Structure 1
Amino acid sequence: MSIGPYVLTEKEFVNRYDLTYPFEERGLQFGDGVYEVIRVYRGNLYLIEEHVERLYRSAAAIHLQVPYEKEEMYKQLKQLLHLNDFTTDGKVYLQLTRGSAPRDHVFPVGVQPNLYAYVAPLSRKHSLMKNGVATITQKDVRWDYCYIKSLNLLPNVMAKQAAKEQGCFEAILHRNGKVTECSSSNVYVVKDGAIYTHPAEKNILHGCVRMRVEAFAKETGIPFHEEAFHLEDIQYADELFLSSSTAEVMPIIEVDGNTIANGRPGQVTMQLQQAYEADANIPMSDSIFYVQ
């Protein structure tokens, strides 16, 4: 993955090789910060307003000031793509921390936040979205404020690594058997034509694509219930899928070695995939229903 040469900071655009911070950086030492990952299609930011809104919500939740007003942030992120002459599929990673200061648990006074954003290529996962993926289940051991998109991701990293070591795409997390979300995505079960997923409360991240999935369901007449399901519900599911900015709408065809339904992506999931592609202005030549 090749990161674009220009990086947005809290003050200006700089060459990525010139971007440095002191080793006493609170994001590095405390995970004291928040972040966003914004999908880019053909050089266009997808769901930029939703991502920026969530960035501000996460920052406010930890009493952190964003150095740009929202409208200015939109302009700066678009300028980031322009300066890097970025016209393909990719992602923008944006990170904001409380800044650099001598190490102390309490918030430093008079310290400017550190912000940086970069763009990098990211191709669509055509084959996986077309055929589905395998997952495992893991106990959710994260903190109680998962709605904050913070830098404290060690439990997520451990769960994702466990999935990889078992040849799987994701780990479905649960608390006492109640499914919350995945290590880096939201998760949904489909039963009798209706979608069920954990309510957008503090125990899950309020995914930007999750919000669009709910909208797509309503637009196409698919019942959408913010109602948590349990591990035992998975074995009786008609369909299972996950969503995120990098995975889009991804069918799950296997959990802990057990096949979901007939082992193929279901009709509801494929309807949502089609709605996603239309919403993101994906050309037919790049559609998962067209690309072999």
Structure 2
Amino acid sequence: MGLRGVISERQRRFGEELHRLREATGMSGPEIGELMGMKGPAVSHTEAGRLSLNIERLHVWLDVCDMTDPDYRAGMAAMCQSSGRGWWSAYRPHVVPEALDLAEFEAAATSYSNYQTHLIPGLLQTKAYSEVIHEYAEKKVEFRLRRQQRITAEDATTPFRAVIHEGALRMMYGGPAVMRDQLNHLIDMARLPHVTIQILPFDCTVYASTDTAFMLMHGTHPRLDTVMFENPHGPTFLGDPAGVAAFRRKFDRLKGMALPPLDAAAPGPSAAFRDSWGMIQHIRYKLLGR
């Protein structure tokens, strides 16, 4: 089988997991290759994501590395057997490769944790808001709305938790009318039983490195969690256990710093109790006269 010329993030991550498992045993590539019936270069190419691994050899690899956790094994088997094709494949000519990788990871995730600084999270955006962000590029907007079905479809149950900085609520992308509708949409989304929204206010007195937006996609096992975060060069995916754990702790801290979750079912915020519902309603009220 030939080597892949283009490697998806899923394929890259699968290879990294195999590499970490082998490294933990202290075996070299040729040593595990001999047990697997593979030559040393084939092991290197597999760990780099350039070469596929069939499911039988995956189970042997996991056995050799003494990995018995059923959730981890199931997650690795799913990554191994995935074709990488899904609804997102049709958008390959229209969006960047990282967007396709994100959609693929989202499709396999068991839950999501999203922190946003100056934008409403993509999975919570209205069409009008998304049009402004994507400068009215029709296919990019369509792609974003299609991603949202993971949490908006009638049978959707995947938990989604968002912490949104107050700055994102006050940016006037598209003007007051677009932002009013966007804030109303946040309230509507909070009515979904699997969606939790919290607002991080400007007057928060604790610093927790709140400048980097990120999405944490939880796998079937914590070791298979993946983080996508923004940087000046574009989206970056992170699967290193220590790095992912740092983002997991960061999100837990952000949840503790943010206002209590938006409860759209409540009649209104208590005068003595600040919450995310009250923050959104306050900003929404100020937009009514604009």
Structure showing the higher strand proportion among its residues = 1
TM over 0.5: no
TM-score (norm 1): 0.23
TM-score (norm 2): 0.23
Structure showing the higher helix proportion among its residues = 2
